[in-house]
Amino acid sequence: MRNRQDHHVREIDAFDSWISRMISGGRSAYFLNFMFRQLPDSRRTRNEIMKDEVCRVYATLVTREVRRPRSSGSQYAMPRLFGCPDFPVPKRDKHSHRLVVANEGMHFNGLLVLSPFGRGELDPEHDLDGEPYVRSNGRLDRIHVTPVDFGSMAHYTFKSIERGGNWDDILILPRSPSELSERRSSLRLPGLTDL
């Protein structure tokens, strides 16, 4: 068990190094805490819903930062997002003084790294707290945004992995072209052809 945890720490150190290099290269970083309304009881279903919502938020913010996100020339300006689910102990919500127990405290931590070559139309601290990112009738309740002023916050973001979580829970955006083609082919039904 100890060797497995050491391996996780080394892998997260690699993320820390990667993100730190991007920050020192002029990118700005933000820690994002995605909180959700009550989701189904299955942990696997919660993970999938959370990842889908984070991907939806990312797809929306990309259009604010990059004029043509699918073009190969825009790849240097793409925002990067790294994240995974987290399982803290329930604590009191400072705003409403209610006990926070939605999804047994499960939420999603993310690191958003923005390029200085983007359009600069997104201000994460102010723009991610409402429509179109957080919908009034959606599953996402709120996104708490904190600028990363020191280090990369990679170890905090991936703390559930350090504690023995599943590496398959990690989300890295944008997805690589090979990952997208694998996902498309897995969604096809056997015996059907593309129209």
Q: What is the mean pLDDT of the chain?
A: 82
Give the separation between CA 174 and CA 167, rounded to whole angstroms.
17
What average pLDDT does this structure show over 15-39? Answer: 93
Q: Which of residues 191 and 85 earns the better pLDDT score?
A: 85
- What's the pLDDT at 36? 94
> Could you tell me the two tokens for 164?
């023995």
What average pLDDT does this structure show over 35-59? Answer: 94
The whole model's pTM is what?
0.80
Cα dihedral 97, 53, 130, 78 sign? positive
**pLDDT (tens digit per residue) in 89-144:** 545 555 555 555 688 888 999 999 999 888 887 788 888 888 899 998 999 999 99
pLDDT value at 187 more than 50: no
- What's the pLDDT at 9? 83
pLDDT value at 184 more than 70: no
Q: SS3 letters for the chain?
A: CHHHHHHHHHHHHHHHHHHHHHHHCCCEEEEEEEEECCCCCCHHHHHHHHHHHHHHHHHHHHHHHCCCCCCHHHHHHCCEEEEEEECCCCCECCCCCCECCHHHHCEEEEEEEECCCCCCCCCHHHHCCCCCCCCCCCCEEEEEEEECCCCCCHHHHCHHHHCCCCHHHCEEECCCHHHHHHHHHHHCCCCCCCC
pLDDT value at 88 more than 80: no
**pLDDT (tens digit per residue) in 49-84:** 999 999 999 999 998 889 888 888 888 889 999 999
